């Protein structure tokens, strides 16, 4: 079964306090839903229209698990804390077999 991945690329961070509140809630919510962070806040080289900013990669055992984690009550609470504190490109993608 192909794994599922969250890919989140931050364009701007307007409110670091909201991001900190989100991080406090999001980490436990992601882990509780079976997510495993693979990359976070490391070095980034951007090409084409990319932005070399904060980038997060989280792995789940399946695409369905990744989608369910995003919809979970715990993660929704984290999103509420983040509100308009950042602008980011958030995607859920299915891995290859």
> Do the beta carbons of residue 87 and residue 18 sit within 8 Å?
no
Answer yes or no: is pLDDT of 41 > 90.
no
Instruction: Give the tens place of pLDDT for each residue, 42-78.
Output: 999 999 998 999 999 999 999 999 999 999 999 999 9
β-bridge mates for residue 39, sequence order: 57
Q: pLDDT of 2-17, one tens digit each?
A: 999 999 999 999 999 9
Sequence-separated (6 or more) residues with CB below 8 Å from residue 27: none
Q: Are 61 and 4 in contact (CB under 8 A)?
A: yes
Look at strands 36-40 and 86-94 and give their pairing.
Answer: unpaired
Confidence at residue 97, expressed as pLDDT on a 0 to 100 scale: 81
């Amino acid at each position: 079964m192909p794994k599922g991945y969250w890919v989140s690329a931050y364009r701007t961070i307007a409110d670091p306090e909201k991001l900190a509140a989100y991080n406090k809630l999001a980490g436990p919510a992601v882990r509780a839903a079976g997510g495993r962070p693979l990359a976070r806040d490391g070095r980034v080289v951007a090409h084409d229209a990319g932005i070399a900013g904060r980038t997060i990669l989280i792995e789940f055992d399946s695409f369905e698990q990744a989608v369910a984690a995003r919809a979970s009550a715990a993660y929704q609470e984290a999103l509420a804390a983040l509100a308009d504190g950042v602008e980011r490109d958030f995607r859920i993608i299915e891995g290859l077999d």
